[in-house]
Amino acid sequence: MKTIEINGHLRESLGTKNAKQLRREGQVPCVVYGGEKNTHFYADERELNKLIYTPNVYQVLLDIDGTKVNAVMRNPEFHPVKDNLLHLDFIEVLSGKPTTMRIPLTLTGASIGVKNGGVLRHNAKKLLVRGVIENIPDEIAIDITDMKIGTSKKVGEIDIKDLEVLESSNRVVVAIKTSRKAIVEEEVEGEEGAEGEEATAEGDDAAAEAPAEA
């Protein structure tokens, strides 16, 4: 998994007043927990935005006044009106200890159904999984090349090794829906078969009308 480094500084005092002051200065109050102790710190909002506003997932190397902690992001809190980041939690990642993350689901290949006019529905963009950080990938790729109109793929059909999937196995990840422009493949095949039968019948008639050889 890719790693991004975030620089932080220990908070000298806690509380609402201190948090508001930090935000006015372009800093975001944060906390990292899950290890031996909880550590309250703050980091530059511009640095954290690189972690927040991206489709990718990262393991985070926190450098808090020289103390380095491996962590993953949790529970970003945003302003209800301005939508700026107010607070961010991190969970310390320890080697061999399972952690929970949402991993992007990406689609690969060109679907047969879409080529025939079907509509692609990418219903699940991320998948909640649990496992040791060494086994968690940057993304989970799903090949949709052979998917026809009317077919779908569910969580239970995705092959994911060494990870526990924390989603319902019946959740639809991707589906190819029909549309007015869609070509119904079975009808096309049926028409081709009918034409073949007509050609055969014509050949039989011609053979019947041909004079017999002496």
Helices vs strands, H then E, count in the chain: 4, 13
Contact 29, 19 (CB under 8 A): yes
Q: Where in the chain do CATH 2.170.120.20 domains reside?
A: 101-177
CA distances from residue 91 to 6, 62, 100, 193, 214 in whole angstroms, order as listed: 14, 11, 10, 62, 96
Q: Coil, strand, or helix at residue 199?
A: helix
Burial class (CB in 10 A: 0-12, 13-18, 19+), 132: middle
Residue 116: band (very low, low, confident or very high) from pLDDT cuts 50, 70, 90: very high
Largest CA distance in the chain: 114
Residue 109: band (very low, low, confident or very high) from pLDDT cuts 50, 70, 90: very high
pLDDT at 14: 87
Q: Where in the chain do CATH 2.40.240.10 domains reside?
A: 3-94
pLDDT at 7: 96
pLDDT at 55: 86
Using alpha carbons, select from 124, 71, 121, 83 the residue that is nearest to residue 102.
124
pLDDT at 36: 83
- CATH 3.40.50.2300 is held by the domain 3-94: no
What mean pLDDT do residues 55-69 have?
93
Residue 202, pLDDT > 50, answer no
pLDDT at 75: 85
Task: Report pTM.
Answer: 0.73
pLDDT at 198: 46
The second-level CATH assignment, the architecture, of 101-177 is: Beta Complex (2.170)
**Which residue do the tokens 């007509």 mark?**
198
